[in-house]
């Protein structure tokens, strides 16, 4: 069965996009068929994997390459691009229009991503669909929460990541009314460094949150270089420590959701 997993926190910069990229890569390296969907109009995931939509296209043309037409017009999913063994549907400026259009759709359009993904799930084309969401509590996030089976909540030990968790949980609880099986797969500790603030956040998260995975340590050189090279951590440094952390976290997540061999 295809698992749809959204990487979600309304806190900015906590590692959602990095984890979507790197978890997707490790899952694909394990032989799983992976589709990444970028639903953040910042398009970081898209850019970091070298999947940017041709910038000479106008907005209407761009909509054929992003999720816009699939969500708003019920079109089939666009043909994805393939990077590092993963399929990816890129984001672009057209995604910003979705927020304004949804309120005019029946039921506020909240089920439209779920509907768009239904045929792909039915055909079992992918084992995992990983969605990168924007750092908001807005309508795009609502689409993601309605369409998902699982949520990965990155909790940064560096900034507001932990503080945001209460709001993230509230939002997920609200969505369980309409999507009852929505589950928090894991709280992923990210960006751990040697400051006491960071260590305390890590400890508190472990004491108070369920299904904790990580930590991914704060490794600016590796993460910056991966973006420049347009590669996931695992492809950029196949034998590096950063990759080992990601692989361990992916394994923890698979165990939590009962997929592990
Ligand atoms: N473990 C890490 N070590 C060092 N830098 C990291 C790490 N994880 C993420 N970063 C960097 O921190 C920044 C924010 O990460 P990322 O974009 O993945 O977070 P995000 O939650 O998706 O952000 P946004 O809320 O803007 O979408 C990026 O520049 C990324 O390279
Ligand atoms: Mg992001």
Q: Indicate if ligand 1 lies below 6 Å from the C-beta of 161.
A: no
Tell me how crowded residue 171 is: count the other CB atoms within 10 A of its CB: 17
pLDDT at 160 (0 to 100): 65
Give the Å distance between the CA of 47 and the centre of ligand 1.
13
* Residues near 64 by beta carbon (within 8 Å), at least 6 away in sequence: 78
* Residues near 236 by beta carbon (within 8 Å), at least 6 away in sequence: 222, 225, 226, 229
Percentage with pLDDT > 70 across the chain: 98
Structural domains in the chain, sorted by start: 3-256 (3.40.50.300)
Indicate the pLDDT class of residue 163, thresholds 50, 70 and 90: confident
Is 230:49 a contact under the CB 8 Å cutoff? Answer: yes
Indicate the pLDDT class of residue 132, thresholds 50, 70 and 90: very high
* Residues near 176 by beta carbon (within 8 Å), at least 6 away in sequence: 182
Give me the mean pLDDT over the 57-76 stretch. 96
Quick one: which of 13, 5, 2, 22 has its CA closest to 249? 22
* Residues near 250 by beta carbon (within 8 Å), at least 6 away in sequence: 23, 26, 27, 30
Q: Please state the atom number of ligand 1 nearest to the C-alpha of residue 134.
A: 27
Is 15:187 a contact under the CB 8 Å cutoff? Answer: no
Query: Which ligand sits closest to the CA of 226?
Result: 1
pLDDT at 162 (0 to 100): 81
In this predicted model, which residue has the larger pLDDT, 201 or 23?
Answer: 23
Q: Indicate if ligand 1 lies below 6 Å from the C-beta of 3.
A: no
Give me the mean pLDDT over the 186-198 stretch. 94
Indicate the pLDDT class of residue 158, thresholds 50, 70 and 90: confident
Tell me how crowded residue 99 is: count the other CB atoms within 10 A of its CB: 17
pLDDT at 168 (0 to 100): 96
pLDDT at 58 (0 to 100): 94
Query: Which ligand sits closest to the CA of 156?
Result: 1
Give the Å distance between the CA of 261 and the centre of ligand 2.
30
For the chain, the DSSP string reads -PEEEEE--SSTTSSHHHHHHHHHHHHHHTT--EEEEE--TT-HHHHHTT----TTS-HHHHTTTSSHHHHHS-PPPPPPEEETTEEEE---TTHHHHHHHGGGSGGGGTTHHHHHHHHHHHTT--SEEEEE--SSSSHHHHHHHHH-SEEEEEEESSSTTTTTHHHHHHHHHHHHTTSTT-EEEEEEEESB-SSHHHHHHHHHHHHH-SSEE-PPB--HHHHHHHHHHT--HHHHSTTSHHHHHHHHHHHHHHHHTT---
Q: Indicate if ligand 1 lies below 6 Å from the C-beta of 220.
A: yes
Q: Indicate if ligand 1 lies below 6 Å from the C-beta of 16.
A: yes
Q: Indicate if ligand 1 lies below 6 Å from the C-beta of 175.
A: no
pLDDT at 95 (0 to 100): 97
Is 80:38 a contact under the CB 8 Å cutoff? Answer: no
Q: Indicate if ligand 1 lies below 6 Å from the C-beta of 216.
A: yes
Quick one: which of 219, 208, 211 has its CA closest to 244? 219
* Residues near 63 by beta carbon (within 8 Å), at least 6 away in sequence: 69, 94
CA angle 150, 156, 162 (to 5 degrees): 80
Q: pLDDT tens across 196-231, in order?
A: 889 998 999 999 999 999 999 999 999 999 999 999
Q: Is the dihedral of CA 42, 49, 77, 24 positive or negative?
A: negative
């Amino acid at each position: 069965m295809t698992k749809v997993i959204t990487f979600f926190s309304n806190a900015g910069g906590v590692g959602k996009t990095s984890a979507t990229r790197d978890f997707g890569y490790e899952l694909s390296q394990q032989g799983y068929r992976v589709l990444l969907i970028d639903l953040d109009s910042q398009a970081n995931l898209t850019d970091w994997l070298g999947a940017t939509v041709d910038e000479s296209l106008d907005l209407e043309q761009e909509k054929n390459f992003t999720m816009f037409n699939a969500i708003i017009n019920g079109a089939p999913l666009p043909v994805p691009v393939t990077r590092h063994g993963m399929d990816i549907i890129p984001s672009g400026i057209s995604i910003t229009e979705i927020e304004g259009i949804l309120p005019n759709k029946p039921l506020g359009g909240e089920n439209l991503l779920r509907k768009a993904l239904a045929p792909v799930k039915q055909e079992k084309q992918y084992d995992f669909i990983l969605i990168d969401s924007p750092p908001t509590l807005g309508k795009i996030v609502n689409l993601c929460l309605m369409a998902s089976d699982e949520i990965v909540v990155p909790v940064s030990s560096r900034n507001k990541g932990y503080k945001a968790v209460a709001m993230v949980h509230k939002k997920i609880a609200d969505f369980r009314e309409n999507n009852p099986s929505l589950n928090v797969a894991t709280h992923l500790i990210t960006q751990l460094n040697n400051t006491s603030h960071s260590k305390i956040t890590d400890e508190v998260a472990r004491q108070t949150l369920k299904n904790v995975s990580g930590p991914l340590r704060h490794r600016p050189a590796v993460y910056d270089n991966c973006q420049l090279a347009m590669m996931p951590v695992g492809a950029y440094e196949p034998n590096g420590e950063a990759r080992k952390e990601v692989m361990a976290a992916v394994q923890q997540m698979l165990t939590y959701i009962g997929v592990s061999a």
